[in-house]
């Protein structure tokens, strides 16, 4: 076992609307100097990846076969096991589960490791690196919980890199965007992003108060943390993450995303 260092790095500030400062030159420097997880890279090499979010625009699209056509299907937090009634639209398979690390029913969801193994989940990931403030304890807790199961596990491998992205965004990335960025450090064939609306359906006032697919989250999820005028959350400013997705699209031709997501970005002049 590797020695565990005795330090904790405090999280950077998170102004309400973030503070986007990224450009193509900064991205190139960050990607050129990224430290990666070699075991995770071996798992991902030359594979096609789709990261599926729970935006309600997916309902009725019957994109399940398209989603299932990818080698690796990534789903986040408690949305890792799609309800049967939605599988025609969003597929059934989950190859890799990305998790915020915090094991709460209304946020990251419970780990349920044996259930994941029985369902066919091959790998699990936590979006935060070791030694980052209070998230460090969540990572350690999962590692202890996983000892009897030994499901393959990955979390961000480069603390300085993670902190750099936080600095240039001025906010903490959501689980899905963290998965997109981290995935592009590795030797994947392509990455498609589906079901990402950056909570814009809350902004548009769609009935139900959220953009989560039926059965994905409780209807009141995140409502108390949402600022409607600024279209942002206390921990996760949305517009900087939208800008990051567009920046990554221009930076890396392996990345693509749904037309609906493109329309949402253009709605915000991104």
Q: What does each of the 270 residues of the chain score in pLDDT, given as a tens digit?
A: 778 888 899 988 888 788 999 999 999 999 999 999 999 999 999 999 999 998 888 989 999 999 999 999 999 998 899 989 899 999 999 999 999 898 887 678 899 999 999 999 999 999 999 999 989 999 999 999 999 999 999 999 999 999 999 999 999 999 999 999 999 999 999 999 999 988 776 444 433 334 544 444 444 445 555 666 666 666 788 899 999 999 999 999 999 999 999 999 998 899
Question: For residue 143, is it within any domain?
Answer: yes
Question: For residue 13, is it within any domain?
Answer: no
User: How many domains is the chain built from?
Assistant: 1
Per-residue pLDDT, 29: 97
Per-residue pLDDT, 230: 61
Question: For residue 19, is it within any domain?
Answer: no
Question: For residue 18, is it within any domain?
Answer: no
Per-residue pLDDT, 258: 95
Question: For residue 90, is it within any domain?
Answer: yes
Edge-to-edge order in the sheet of strand 153-155: 153-155, 123-126, 96-99, 72-76, 48-52, 190-194, 255-257
Per-residue pLDDT, 234: 64
Per-residue pLDDT, 105: 75
Domain range for 95 is 24-267
- Rg of the chain over Cα atoms, rounded to whole angstroms, equals 18
Please report, for the domain that includes residue 177, its CATH number: 3.90.1480
Q: Quick one: residue 49, left, alpha or beta (phi over 0 = left, psi -120 to 50 = alpha)?
A: beta
CB of 235 closer than 8 Å to CB of 172: yes
Question: For residue 158, is it within any domain?
Answer: yes
Question: For residue 2, is it within any domain?
Answer: no
Per-residue pLDDT, 216: 46
Per-residue pLDDT, 227: 64
Question: For residue 11, is it within any domain?
Answer: no
């Amino acid at each position: 076992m590797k020695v565990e260092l005795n330090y904790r790095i405090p999280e950077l500030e998170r102004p309400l609307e973030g503070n986007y400062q990224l450009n193509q030159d900064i991205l190139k420097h960050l990607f050129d100097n990224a430290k990666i997880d070699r075991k995770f890279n071996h798992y991902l090499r030359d594979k096609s990846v789709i990261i599926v979010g729970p935006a309600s625009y997916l309902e009725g699209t019957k994109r399940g076969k398209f989603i299932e056509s990818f080698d690796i299907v990534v789903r986040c937090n408690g949305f890792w096991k799609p309800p049967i009634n939605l599988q025609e639209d969003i597929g059934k398979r989950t190859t890799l589960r990305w998790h915020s690390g915090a094991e709460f029913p209304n946020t990251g969801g419970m780990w349920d490791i044996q259930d994941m193994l029985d369902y066919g989940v091959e790998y699990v990931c936590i979006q935060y690196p070791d030694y980052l403030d209070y998230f460090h304890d969540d990572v350690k807790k999962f590692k202890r919980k996983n000892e009897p199961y030994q499901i393959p596990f990955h979390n961000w491998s480069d603390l300085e890199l993670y902190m750099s992205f936080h600095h240039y965004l001025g906010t903490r990335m959501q689980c899905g965007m963290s998965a997109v960025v981290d995935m592009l450090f590795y030797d994947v064939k392509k990455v498609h992003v589906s079901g990402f609306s950056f909570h814009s359906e809350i902004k548009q006032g769609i009935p139900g108060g959220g953009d989560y697919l039926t059965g994905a989250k409780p209807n009141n999820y995140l409502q108390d943390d949402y600022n409607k005028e600024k279209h942002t959350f206390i921990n996760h400013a949305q517009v900087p993450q939208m800008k990051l997705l567009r920046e990554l699209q221009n930076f890396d031709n392996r990345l693509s995303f749904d037309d609906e997501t493109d329309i949402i970005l253009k709605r915000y002049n991104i």
